[in-house]
Amino acid sequence: MSKGHNLNPSDRFHFKIVAPFRADVPQTLGRVSVDKRTHRDLVFGTQLLRGNVYRECGPIAMQLLADGRHYQAIDAQSWHVLLEDGIGRLVGCARYRPVAGGFEQLNASQSAIAHSHRYGPLLRSAIEKQIAYARNNNMPYCEVGAWALRPEVRCSTAAVNVALMTYALTLHLGGGIGITTATRLHHSASILRRLGGRRLADLPAYYEPKYGSVIEVLYFNSGHLNPRYADRLEKLRREIEDVPVICAANAPGAIHEELPAYVPQASYYLGNAPGMQRSQPPRVAIH
């Protein structure tokens, strides 16, 4: 695949959605199944894809599991938008997490800027105001991120399509307001700003030591997408109605992550397709 190749999710590439509970899936999403094992394996794959970037991104690389995964407990309780190629290999992913609590529930609360004496209180105040506004207006509030892409699709429309499909998912889940901490690595933050992301409370970009990158705190409002992408979003919004949705359970309850040390397609998730060496993991872009 050459750089700049236009990807059509309904053609060679296809989407899957991972959801925690069947009860949370709206009726507008039609191809829903409850399969704990498949759910577990797909989450496993997203963690492997994300983990590859942290091999090169500063001290956080030391926090990867022995199998290379970037493990976070919130993954089991989150939604994931996955982009796969024609042979079922994961090439891109993003995470959507509804926020039922307050500021401390967000990954942003653990960021370097959150610990700044000058800007930390501004970050907290801005987020708490958004959460209050969303709840007063019966709007969902969420945190999005974990956006990762394999190198062969990073310079294609896949990056935008994964972001827009995540946006389409938020619309099916009721819209609302979302926040993300976006890295400038591989132009991730600039792509999201072009889509309609806005700098939160005019907070400055900041250096995040654990990622070794400059970060921007951005927020989205479901009604403020850049009109330039309206047609593509509408197309994906229709397509998502036929995207497979794999749930871990029927209703909320304890989800015990008994993740296997190996899954059948792990070689593809790790980038060990024929001709690739395990010692040279693929570079991916993530925020």
CA distance 162 to 30: 20
Mean pLDDT of 113-138: 96
Mean pLDDT of 191-204: 95
pLDDT band for position 253 (cuts 50, 70, 90): low
Q: Which residues of 97-113 are buried (b: 16+ CB within 10 A; e: fewer)?
A: bbbeeebebbbbbebbb
CA distance 82 to 18: 8
pLDDT at 256: 52
Question: Residue type at 231?
Answer: D
Q: Which CATH number fits domain 14-269: 2.30.130.10, 3.40.630.30, 3.40.640.10, 3.30.40.10?
A: 3.40.630.30
**Residue 186: is its pLDDT beyond 80?**
no
Whole-number average pLDDT of the chain: 84
**Residue 263: is its pLDDT beyond 50?**
no
**Residue 97: is its pLDDT beyond 50?**
yes
pLDDT at 269: 44
pLDDT at 255: 53
Closest-CA residue to 29 (of 257, 241, 285, 258): 241
180: how many CB neighbours lie within 10 A of its CB?
Answer: 30
Three-class secondary structure of residue 33 per DSSP: strand
Among 147-151, 173-177, 228-232, 281-285, the minimum mean pLDDT is found in: 281-285
Among 10-14, 158-162, 193-197, 204-208, the minimum mean pLDDT is found in: 10-14
Asked whether 81 and 168 are in contact (CB, 8 A), the reply is no
Closest-CA residue to 147 (of 198, 183, 108, 104): 183
**Residue 239: is its pLDDT beyond 80?**
yes
Mean pLDDT of 170-178: 95
Mean pLDDT of 16-39: 95
Strands (E), 102-244: 141-149, 177-183, 198-199, 206-208, 213-221
pLDDT band for position 196 (cuts 50, 70, 90): very high
**Residue 10: is its pLDDT beyond 60?**
no
pLDDT at 58: 66
Instruction: Compare 125 and 61 and report the one with higher pLDDT.
Output: 125
pLDDT at 61: 73
**Residue 52: is its pLDDT beyond 90?**
no
The proportion of the chain whose per-residue pLDDT surpasses 70, expressed as a percent, equals: 83
In the chain, what are the domain boundaries?
14-269
